[in-house]
Amino acid sequence: MAFKIPSKSSISIKDPETLFRDLRDRTVEGLLAQQADMLRKYMEHVDKNDIALELPTGSGKTLVGLLIAEWRRRTKRERCVLLCPTKQLVHQVVEQAKEKYGINALDFSGSARQFPMADKTAFNNCEAIGIATYSALFNTNPFFDGAHTIIFDDAHAAENYVSSFWSLEISRNEDEKTFDAIWQVIAQYTTDNDQLRYDQVNDGSLDTSFVNKIPTPYLFTCKTALTVAIDNACNREDSPDEYGYRWQMIKDHLHACHLYYTSQSILIRPLISPTKSFSPFQNARQRIYMSATLGEGGDLERIFGRKKIERIPAPEGWEKQGIGRRFFVFPMRKWDETTSLQQAISWIGKFDRSLILTPSNRAADIVRGFITANPATQKHLQFNASNLEASKKSFTQAKSAIAILANRYDGIDLIGDECRYLMIFGLPESTNLQERFIISRLGGSVLFNVRIRTRVTQAVGRCTRSSTDYALVVIIGDKVHQYFHRPENRDTLHPELQAEVNFGVEQSNVDNPLELSNNIDIFIDHGPEWKSADGHILETRDELTQSPLPSAEPLGNSVSHEVKFQDALWSGDFESALSSAKDVLACLAGGHELKGYSALWNYLAGSAAYLSNQPQVAQSHFSSAFSCASTLPWLKQMQKLISAQSTEVPVEVIYGERIERIEGVLEKFGKSGSLKVDRYLQAIRDGLASSESKPFEEAQVKLGRILGFESGNTERSGDPDPWWIFGRQGIVFEDYTATGDNPVVSKDKTLQAKAHPDTLSEEHPGVNFSVVMCSSSDKLHHAATPHTGDVFYISVDEFKKFSEECMTTIRVLWDAFQSPGIIEWREFAARKLTETQLGTEEILARLTSTKLSTLA
């Protein structure tokens, strides 16, 4: 047997660009101009540890990443891996590398135990580059623990892939035993309302958008008991496998984590992923983050836990030009959500395949219901994300097919005729409990503006992947509709996308849906009429510029200190963490839009001071958190950590949780027009004007909800009429709307009312109910007098007057409302409730000011 003597390669490898020219097995003629430009710019940063490359969708960033990886493998003898969000994209990249570019890339999708030994050997010996999913790196025993260069494709989409590695989430539906065990540990640190939500988990009246957090000092106090509870869960034979490895990553660092909870879910995770502590990531010589939208404000650094990432912006010329053409249609300019969704479903018949993106499984189920109800689409093949995980061929080769993907705004590229109809149903906002908490409870939505814009941009580009691609994009859902109809949001989009959206907004302002349908047909035909429209879009694009997002500069300045804070906290260096938190606050100072985020960082600084045994410093920062945003009810819990000298709770905090609930109701009305809110308020008026019990009671329930109370009713005979709950207090009504010559409140009616608190105590334990007889009669039967007890009375006319005052105030609040989590609106709402004497105690006092016995 002859020895194998290796021969030197004749390929020129001065840089990735010259390497490409000597790849003889490729089927593409040459690099695109923007690809060559990006590779040259990369060589100027070739020795940097963290580099971000921005190339628009469809401009060929995958080839750029492959060439950099192959060049570093050959010239530096490095192990190079390119990571993708999904297995389907891994397969796609490997196929492109081999068949189009002549680069030997190995497919490392799936379990590491199933990787072929020959492939593992070739990778470790630097003979070929690897392509894998994010989870192939971010796990407790990664095959790629010795990679020299790590390239993250679609880096903007990585947040959940990265953060989930340091996150433990417990679902009550899937593991009630563990959920209950943890709840018993944290229950003493939750609020009365939170305990009610836990107790009444099956009560449909409770708000489903709720999320709360255990303050860090309390979490630190109960960490031993919490550790025992989770250890026991991990040791159970029936516990999910993921418990073990996720708990392993955070178990010894609970002091650096946060515990978020709802009545259905518990999440434990750090604020920022501590990637510095993970050697397979940290020890790489170079990490490259590729994205079509890098964004500003330090969002990429927060996602990957890096203090600084060098950015290489899109090549010159791409600041105006986009990829492909989209025709946006906004049916909700003229019709409500239900009618618009029905119309959008009917347009599916114009296309072979359609893609529908939703922010949640619940929204996806709503869409499926409409599809099934439509005779024209009920027989279409339906696909979900798991169906497309390994391959998209089953979808792209089908006729009459619909893919409905929940919370997946990346990871699937549909090119050309594969799909030309895209529907966005709902705004891609928060995707985990931490995001929800910061947005809804801390008013910190400004932090995620970049992330939401990125998700929106990625979503609308799923079906336009090349310069000649075109797709119809239909926008449904109040939040996403309003997002595109606010000029300040459109101004922050890429100029080409701005022009497309502006054109769609104008063309959707029609009175007849047939006009929209005809315009869609013109777009599908892509004939002379559409060419004229396309020319208008191009002219508009050239006149537009992209504006920076508000507060992007201070957020960008603070991110390096935020990462330093997390790294110090993770390692137990509380004093350094406190110093970094103070640096963050210095960067955020003076920004009115950053009040909620400043409150968060004052809280984090106080927590670090508490952990480093500096109680006075902790007290100062907790007080400052209050000062930043006193309308945030979550901060009220921190009062217990402030000295007895500061016992006065600002009046705004008293209304905090109610304001959040009012905000949730107003959010459902949307801002597409006043029709929904006016219809809701009129339904209350009509119900209270009725002499029939059912509409009257329904009106009381609606009024309670819009006032920010837990509100409900039961239909069983003899059961209480509507009830309102606020914390541990409640009102239960006994309604008597009888008409006639001389109606009186009878003994039976009085006894029935008196028994209501006992009836409700089983379903609402711990709530102290006051009984209010709301009656059209001001006469009490003499037999009822001895039984009136603590039953109160309000006349129907007085209750109507009260409700009008309430609705007038709520209408003012709706007029000022724009979107959830805005501190300024919450402060305005608190002032307005104070001015109109609609505080919880004031409402209770008004409804219980007269005893029923006074009618005798």
Q: Which CA distances in Å does 842 have to 712, 797, 814, 837?
A: 21, 19, 22, 6
Cα separation, 134 vs 138, whole angstroms? 6
Q: CB neighbours (10 Å) of residue 486?
A: 12
Nearest to 320 by CA among 37, 548, 546, 54: 546
Instruction: Quote the CA–CA distance of 285 and 267 in Å, as a whole number.
Output: 33
- The rounded distance, in Å, linking the Cα atoms of 221 and 319 is 52
Q: Which residues, at least 6 apart from 133, have a Cβ–Cβ distance to it below 8 Å?
A: 83, 84, 85, 86, 87, 90, 109
Name the residue with tokens 């009920």: 378
Give the pairing of strands 149-152 and 168-171: unpaired
Between CA 97 and CA 116 the distance in angstroms is 19
Query: What's the average pLDDT block by block, 10 residues per block, for the chain (856 residues)?
Result: 62 84 88 91 95 84 95 95 92 92 94 92 96 94 95 88 94 92 91 77 54 90 92 88 89 95 94 96 97 86 96 84 91 92 95 94 93 90 86 89 88 88 90 86 80 88 88 94 91 94 95 92 94 94 90 93 97 95 91 84 93 90 79 62 43 62 83 78 92 89 92 70 84 78 76 82 83 85 79 90 92 84 81 88 90 81
Pull the structure tokens for residue 343: 């119309």
Q: Please count the other Cβ atoms lying within 10 Å of the Cβ belonging to residue 541.
A: 20
Determine the topology of domain 325-543 in CATH.
Rossmann fold (3.40.50)
- Beta strand 258-261 with 265-269 is antiparallel
| In the block, residue with structure tokens 């609705």 | 807
Return d(Cα 76, Cα 57) in angstroms, integer. Answer: 30
Contact 450, 552 (CB under 8 A): yes
* Residue range 660-855, CATH number: 3.40.91
Place of tokens 């908490």: 437
> At residue 669, what is the residue type?
F
Helical spans, DSSP H, in 209-310: 216-221, 223-235, 241-250, 279-282, 299-304
Question: Tokens 């984090």 appear where?
Answer: 604
How many other CB atoms sit within 10 Å of the CB of residue 600? Answer: 27
Rounded Cα distance between 631 and 441, Å, is: 10
Whole-number Cα distances in Å, 611 to 254, 267, 617: 12, 21, 11
Mark 649-684 as b/e (b = at least 16 C-beta within 10 Å): eeebbbbbbbbbbbbbbbbebbbbeeebbeebbeeb
Q: Which string of DSSP letters, residue by residue, matches 12-27?
A: --SSHHHHHHT-TT--
DSSP SS3 for 474: strand
Q: Is 714 exposed, middle or buried (0-12, 13-18, 19+ CB in 10 A)?
A: middle
Per-residue tokens: 624: 């400052």
Which pLDDT score, from 0 to 100, does residue 645 have? Answer: 38
As a whole number of angstroms, the distance between CA 277 and CA 570 comes to: 8
pLDDT computed for residue 7 by the predictor: 58
Q: Among 318, 405, 307, 293, which Cα is nearest to 360's?
A: 405
Instruction: List the structure tokens of 246.
Output: 């996720």
Look up residue 572 and give its two tokens. Answer: 């137990």
Assign domain 16-163+277-312 to its CATH superfamily. Answer: P-loop containing nucleotide triphosphate hydrolases (3.40.50.300)
Phi, psi of 667 (to 5 degrees): -60, -35
552-649 shares its CATH topology with 660-855: no
- Residue 105's pLDDT is what? 96
User: Tokens 């709720």 — which residue?
Assistant: 210
**Token reading at 172:** 């009550």
Tokens 């003899």 sit on residue:
718
Query: Which among 769, 773, 767 has a CA at the least distance from the CA of 791?
Result: 773
Strand-pair category, 265-269 with 168-171: antiparallel
Q: 3-class DSSP state for residue 325?
A: strand
DSSP code string of 712-778: E---STTS---EEEETTEEEEEEEE---SSS--B-HHHHHHHHTHHHHHHTTSTT-EEEEEEEES--
- Residues in a beta bridge with 725: 710, 730
Domain boundaries, given as residue ranges, for the chain = 16-163+277-312, 165-271, 325-543, 552-649, 660-855
Which residue bears the tokens 């509870």?
Answer: 229
Predicted pLDDT at 178:
93
CA dist., res. 246 & res. 242, Å (int): 6
Fold of 552-649: 1.25.40
**Per-residue tokens: 492:** 């922050």
Termini Cα distance of the chain: 116
Torsion angles phi and psi, residue 432, rounded to 5: -145, 170
Instruction: Give the single-character DSSP code of 486.
Output: -
* Tokens representing residue 202 in the block: 């099956």
Count of residues in the chain: 856
Position 825 scores a pLDDT of 84
Q: In what order do the strands lie in the sheet with 105-107?
A: 105-107, 129-133, 80-84, 149-152, 286-291, 50-54, 310-312
* CA proximity to 432, closest of 670, 256, 270: 270
For residue 409, give the H/E element and its range: none
CA distances from 591 to 81, 437, 550 (A): 41, 21, 10
pLDDT of residue 11: 52
pTM across the whole model: 0.82
